[in-house]
Amino acid sequence: MATYETIKQTLLTYQQEHLLHFYDQLTETEQQSLLTQIDQIDFENLKETSQQQEERATISALPSHSAEMFTTTELVNMHEHGLSLLADGKVAVVLLAGGQGTRLGHNGPKGTVNMDGTAATSLFALQAKRIQALQQEVKTTISWYIMTSPINDEETTTFFKENGYFGLKPEQITFFLQDVSPALTPEGKVMLEDKGTVFQAPNGNGGVFASMQKAGILAELKNNHVKWVFFNNIDNALVQVADPYFLGYADQQGAAISSKSVKKADPNEKVGVLGQRDGKPSVIEYSELTEEQRHQPELQDANIGIHLFDVEFLEQTADQVLPYHLAHKKISTIKEDGTTVQPLEPNGYKLEKFYFDVFPYASNMSIFQVERANEFLPVKNKTGKDSLEEAQKRFN
Query: How far is the C-alpha of 17 from the C-alpha of 11, rounded, in Å?
Result: 5
Instruction: Tell me the whole-structure pTM to 2 decimals.
Output: 0.94
* Residue-level pLDDT at 50: 59
pLDDT digits (tens, 9 = 90+) for 278-312: 999 999 999 889 999 999 999 999 999 999 999 99
Which phi and psi angles does 16 have, rounded to 5°? -125, 25
- Once rounded to an integer, what is the mean pLDDT over residues 308-333? 94
* Residue-level pLDDT at 49: 75
- Once rounded to an integer, what is the mean pLDDT over residues 76-103? 97
pLDDT digits (tens, 9 = 90+) for 137-184: 999 999 999 999 999 999 999 999 999 999 999 999 999 999 999 999
Query: How far is the C-alpha of 192 from the C-alpha of 163, rounded, in Å?
Result: 38
Query: How far is the C-alpha of 383 from the C-alpha of 106, rounded, in Å?
Result: 12
* Residue-level pLDDT at 46: 83
Does residue 52 have a pLDDT over 70?
no
* Residue-level pLDDT at 389: 95
Angle of CA points 69, 71, 73, to nearest 5°: 145
Query: How far is the C-alpha of 210 from the C-alpha of 178, rounded, in Å?
Result: 9
Q: Return the CATH number of the domain spanning residue range 60-395.
A: 3.90.550.10
pLDDT confidence band for 63 (50 / 70 / 90) = very high
pLDDT digits (tens, 9 = 90+) for 371-389: 999 999 999 999 999 999 9
* Residue-level pLDDT at 120: 97
In whole numbers, what is the pLDDT of the chain averaged over residues?
94
Query: How far is the C-alpha of 339 from the C-alpha of 203, rounded, in Å?
Result: 27
* Residue-level pLDDT at 89: 98
Query: How far is the C-alpha of 210 from the C-alpha of 319, rounded, in Å?
Result: 7
* Residue-level pLDDT at 54: 57
Q: Is the distance from CB of 114 to CB of 394 less than 8 angstroms?
A: no
Which phi and psi angles does 68 have, rounded to 5°? -65, -15
Q: Which residues contact 62 (CB under 8 A, 6 or more apart)?
A: 274, 275, 276, 281, 301, 365, 367
- Once rounded to an integer, what is the mean pLDDT over residues 226-250? 98
- Once rounded to an integer, what is the mean pLDDT over residues 22-45? 92
Domain map (residue ranges) of the chain: 60-395
pLDDT confidence band for 321 (50 / 70 / 90) = confident
Residue type, 73: T
Closest to 282 in 3D by CA, of 54, 56, 62, 48: 62
Does residue 55 have a pLDDT over 80?
no
Cα 107 to Cα 84, 103, 152, 164: the distances in Å are 40, 9, 11, 21
Q: What is the number of other CB atoms lying within 10 angstroms of the CB of residue 3?
A: 10
Does residue 1 have a pLDDT over 90?
no
* Residue-level pLDDT at 44: 87
Q: Is the distance from CB of 260 to CB of 236 less than 8 angstroms?
A: no
* Residue-level pLDDT at 145: 98
* Residue-level pLDDT at 2: 74
- Identify the helix (H) or strand (E) that includes residue 174: strand 173-177
